Structure 1
Amino acid sequence: MGWPRATAPAWPVHAGLLLLAVTTVGGYALADPELRNVIFALVTAVPIVTYLLALGAGHLTDRGPWLAAVAGLGFLTLGTVMWPDWIPGHHFGRAEGSVTDLVMASAHLLFLVGTATALRRHGRTDPGGLIDAALFGLCAAGPLWEWLIGPHLGSHATALGKALLFSDVLVLAAVLGCLIRIGITAHGARGPLGYLVLTASLTLANDVVAVLTIDGSAVWTAQIMMLAYLTLAVGPILPTARGVTEPAPGPAVTRHPPLGLLGAALCANPLIAVVQAVRADGPASVVLPVATMLVVPMVVLRLRLLSSQRARAERTLAHQAHHDELTGLYNRRHIVTKIDEAMDALDRGEISEVTLLLCDLDGFKPVNDRYGHQAGDAVLQAVARRLSAVAGPHDAVGRLGGDEFMILQCGGEPVADRITAALCEPIPITGGTVRIGASVGTATAWPGDGADRESLIARADAAMYAVKARPAAPEPEPATI
């Protein structure tokens, strides 16, 4: 049986999750300690099964990142089997820095790396939004640590244990921010992304709960962690899971947060450090400086991205100001500026002559009338390519508008005959080819002859109409398939 299509209803999956969550969480609370370990280990294996099934059915693309995520989940399950007392014994949350903590943190990081790699395509369409989201997450991690986690760590917490726990909080907060951002932009995959957001939120909440309940029962910690595993298992089996790694084409259209809000978030950690320094009721924490140092490279990356975007926008605007949108040739304004520059160089004696060629297409109107404006645009683009190929490397080629073109030469070999020959060749359009002609008028200015831009254009225009007055150009040939 094939995997459900994207249009299939998702309610059976939601209902199955609810039933499984109630059964496992309730069963864990009522079971004896040994059975609790079995239930917890089985729950950690559920997402591995769903991910492997989805990968085997071809429902999840980009197999490499998802396999890395599955490997991370496998290490977590293996760690649960090898150290079954990690959760029930409340070692999770003590920040002891043991081998178990190191293995679990590494497995967790491997899964997050795999997931982040699978989501990389969304970053290509909205890199600035993801950086902003990650910054918000990192800025929120500092207060979370200082207010809820750090003050409740006991004497059993080691430097390595604190570092592992704090890094887990930082990564989860940043990933949570990015997942929320992607969920806003990826409308077609909000279901699986919503479950990933729930998984990250539950895992982050579990870090807090594990520390706050360190002297009480570990049941809450285990139950929240089981819910995180179950919500993680739902994502890949939803009909729209493919959209997680295959974003809709086109750029993201969501707005970025106001700069004031982003600035307030960046000020959170320094302000807390200032309050701690003023109160002077305990040793200064190194957590906030570390969090701030992690934020700085991301701010620099965001500024670099903004600078690159602005540079690209300026280049685009400059190109649009000087070039014709359809053909890519110089537009009328810029080619006229080029003529003025050439005439000034001629007056200064820097060049020996200035030649202007006006080119008006013959038989172009019937192409539009017979085959449509799309075919006409294809003909104009083909003419632009051929004129650019005929012109010399230092010649300027422009489109004056409609079917009129201009070539400016500052010396060099005459190209009028080559233009006529090039444009008489068949031009392919959709469904066949057409033929057009061209009337080319040439005017040349030399030093001391008193010519200016207006007179040079007028002479070239008169020469073009003299050519056009000759026998009529051929009608376009019917398109042949």
Structure 2
Amino acid sequence: MHAAFAGLSAAAVTAYALAGPDLRIVVFTAATTVPIITFLLALGAGHLTDRLPWLAATAGLGFLSLGQVLWPDWIPGHHLGRAEGSTTDLVMASAHLLFLIGTASALRRHGRKDPGGLIDAALFGLCAAGPLWEWLIGPNLGPDATPFGEALVLADVLVLSAVLGCVIRIGVTARRARGPLAYLLLAGLLTLACDVVSVLTVHGTSVWTAQMMMLAYLTLAAGPVLPSAPLVTRPESGRSTAEHPPLGWLGAALCANPVIAAVQAVQGNRPASVVLPISTMIVIPVVLLRLRLLSAQRDRAERTLAHQAHHDELTGLYNRRHIVTRIDEAVHALEQRELAEVTLLLCDLNGFKPVNDRLGHQAGDLVLQAVARRLTATVREDDLVGRLGGDEFVVLLRGAHPAGGDGVAARIAEALREPIEVAGTTVRIGASIGTARAWPGAGLGRDELIGRADAAMYVAKAAQPTADDRARPVPVAGPV
């Protein structure tokens, strides 16, 4: 494929250079039809499974072909770069807008969890368009340029820069699609270079502009036929965002226009341009939005870390460190007579080890998660449930409970006796529960409270039948 592209490009460039004026139009028109053919063939063969982005690009190629039909001498006759505001100028700008829609659609598929990627692509366009316009395009526009034509050229530069930004951003995450992305990126760079070269050579030959544009068409044609082309619109598993937020874009976006203005002030040979204030007005809200997204990402990360620091990863209950801290707080509140009573329940599962031994640790994890849900459902909203580790759980009742500690323990034991279905099998477990109660003036600290609950739990466990095998799994359809 690469050899075919190189050979076809060399043949097209050479043929255009050697041909006469009339034949050059034929050579150029033939080059513009190649990407339409490859795009339609790739879509028709089902090679490009995600059709919408590629169809948008194909529609853009159709617009370019329409412009070539309406004005076949537009590029060979060196009308590109004059900013005349013709119909063909409008058609070309519209075609590139369709390319932007296609690439932005592909980027959105990769960046569903990374909206900052879309903003970074927009910032690329805004940062790149300003210097190109102020230093290369604007000062060299000829007398044929009209306000509408200048606006179309500026819009085209902005759109092409945004297309390049989208392609680059896709390449950050879609590493396996970098082959076709390289061709698409080269096509965009060549098209953007044509805009600049056509203005710089507006009073000279159009051969360079036409040859670069043909190369852009042929480069674009190679992208969809590569084997990895479908990956351009298919996010890779586990890669939805770039590893590091590209803060450099924000600095470039904020500095680009002031640097241009400083250079113009030093040169002092050009009147002030309205492009700088307009683009700055666009850049500022985009940068603020990017900062807002970064701040939101940081807040989410902090909330995640805080949750992980206080909660058990498997069950979602409070972990040992947090529950011990809350016991200390409850005991202190008891001493200050802010609470009338504190009750601590330690729960050790009976029959859990056979579940792990016979069904595996994954089934054991499902049992622990079911236990966590049942424990949470048996207590009040102000009470706390935690996992100490393994199959040991703790319940902290803050304040007097209508059913009392023994009543809550009975409800927990009843809830845990209900069968649990895991991996197509029903198992039964139980729990040994030890209860300890403290009240104002009792003088019980955290360690004493836990010690009493632990001792009561072992007494309850000793009274249980020794047949832990009652947790033996039975088929769902059988008796339980």
- The answer to whether TM tops 0.5 is yes
Aligned 8 A contact 1:437 1:474 in 2: no
Q: Select 2:348's aligned residue among 350, 360, 365.
A: 360
2:373 maps to 385
CA RMSD of aligned residues (A): 2.4
Q: Select 1:58's aligned residue among 18, 27, 46.
A: 46
CA distance in 2, matches of 1:260, 1:245: 26
Write out per-residue CA displacement over residues 222-269 of structure 1, whole angstroms, 9 at most, x where no aligned residue.
Answer: 221111111111111111111101021113575548756853563232
Q: Give the SS at the match of 2:98.
A: helix
CA distance in 2, matches of 1:381, 1:21: 63
Give the superposition deviation at 1:35: 3.2
Write out per-residue CA displacement over residues 312-353 of structure 1, whole angstroms, 9 at most, x where no aligned residue.
Answer: 011001101110111110011222232233334444555443
Q: Select 1:112's aligned residue among 96, 100, 103.
A: 100
CA distance in 2, matches of 1:264, 1:115: 23
CA distance in 2, matches of 1:163, 1:140: 16
CA distance in 2, matches of 1:237, 1:183: 18
Write out per-residue CA displacement over residues 400-457 of structure 1, whole angstroms, 9 at most, x where no aligned residue.
Answer: 1121101122324332122212222333333534332210112223344444433322
Change (3 A) 1:473 1:333: farther
1:314 maps to 302
Range with greater deviation from structure 2 (358-367 or 34-43): 34-43
CA distance in 1, matches of 2:227, 2:181: 12
Write out per-residue CA displacement over residues 364-399 of structure 1, whole angstroms, 9 at most, x where no aligned residue.
Answer: 233333443333222222211221222233321100
CA distance in 1, matches of 2:370, 2:352: 12
Q: Select 1:90's aligned residue among 78, 90, 97.
A: 78
Amino acid at match of 1:444: R
Structure 2 regions of 5+ residues with no counterpart? none
Give the superposition deviation at 1:130: 5.5
Q: Select 1:156's aligned residue among 133, 138, 144.
A: 144
Aligned 8 A contact 2:120 2:249 in 1: no
CA distance in 1, matches of 2:253, 2:418: 64
Structure 1 regions of 5+ residues with no counterpart? 1-12
Structure 1 position 229 matched with structure 2 position 222: no
Write out per-residue CA displacement over residues 269-326 of structure 1, whole angstroms, 9 at most, x where no aligned residue.
Answer: 2122122123322211222233333322221122011101100011001101110111
Write out per-residue CA displacement over residues 186-237 of structure 1, whole angstroms, 9 at most, x where no aligned residue.
Answer: 2110111111101111011111111111112222212211111111111111
Write out per-residue CA displacement over residues 39-95 of structure 1, whole angstroms, 9 at most, x where no aligned residue.
Answer: 323322322222222222222233233222222211111111012121122111111
Structure 1 position 36 matched with structure 2 position 31: no
Range with greater deviation from structure 2 (257-266 or 370-379): 257-266
Show the 5 A alignment for 1:116-155: 116-124=104-112, 126-128=114-116, 131-132=119-120, 134-155=122-143
Amino acid at match of 1:437: G
Structure 1 position 446 matched with structure 2 position 446: no
1:472 maps to 466
Structure 1 position 457 matched with structure 2 position 450: yes
Show the 5 A alignment for 1:58-457: 58-124=46-112, 126-128=114-116, 131-132=119-120, 134-251=122-239, 255-256=243-244, 259=247, 263=251, 266-410=254-398, 411-413=401-403, 414-430=407-423, 432-457=425-450
Aligned 8 A contact 1:136 1:262 in 2: no
Range with greater deviation from structure 2 (174-183 or 130-139): 130-139
Range with greater deviation from structure 2 (320-329 or 287-296): 287-296
Q: Give the SS at the match of 2:299.
A: helix
Q: Give the SS at the match of 1:469.
A: helix
CA distance in 2, matches of 1:109, 1:56: 24
Amino acid at match of 2:93: A
Q: Give the SS at the match of 1:415.
A: helix
Aligned 8 A contact 1:141 1:169 in 2: yes
Write out per-residue CA displacement over residues 163-183 of structure 1, whole angstroms, 9 at most, x where no aligned residue.
Answer: 211121122223323322322
Aligned 8 A contact 1:362 1:473 in 2: no
Amino acid at match of 2:455: A
Aligned 8 A contact 1:356 1:457 in 2: yes
CA distance in 2, matches of 1:71, 1:412: 72
CA distance in 1, matches of 2:298, 2:212: 45
CA distance in 1, matches of 2:185, 2:171: 8
CA distance in 2, matches of 1:256, 1:319: 23
Amino acid at match of 2:259: L
Change (3 A) 1:312 1:276: same
CA distance in 2, matches of 1:318, 1:57: 51
CA distance in 2, matches of 1:256, 1:454: 46
| TM-score where L is the length of structure 1 | 0.90
Give the superposition deviation at 1:152: 1.2
CA distance in 1, matches of 2:26, 2:179: 30
Q: Give the SS at the match of 1:355.
A: strand
CA distance in 1, matches of 2:436, 2:319: 20
CA distance in 2, matches of 1:195, 1:260: 25
Q: Give the SS at the match of 1:119.
A: helix
Q: Give the SS at the match of 2:468.
A: coil
Range with greater deviation from structure 2 (20-29 or 151-160): 20-29
CA distance in 2, matches of 1:387, 1:372: 23
Aligned 8 A contact 2:96 2:160 in 1: no
Range with greater deviation from structure 2 (279-288 or 340-349): 340-349
Q: Give the SS at the match of 2:433.
A: strand
Write out per-residue CA displacement over residues 108-143 of structure 1, whole angstroms, 9 at most, x where no aligned residue.
Answer: 212221222123122235544554454344323222
Range with greater deviation from structure 2 (113-122 or 239-248): 113-122
Aligned 8 A contact 1:360 1:404 in 2: yes
| TM-score where L is the length of structure 2 | 0.90
CA distance in 1, matches of 2:472, 2:425: 9
1:5 maps to none
Aligned 8 A contact 1:437 1:473 in 2: no
Q: Give the SS at the match of 2:235.
A: coil
Range with greater deviation from structure 2 (263-272 or 219-228): 263-272
CA distance in 1, matches of 2:244, 2:468: 57
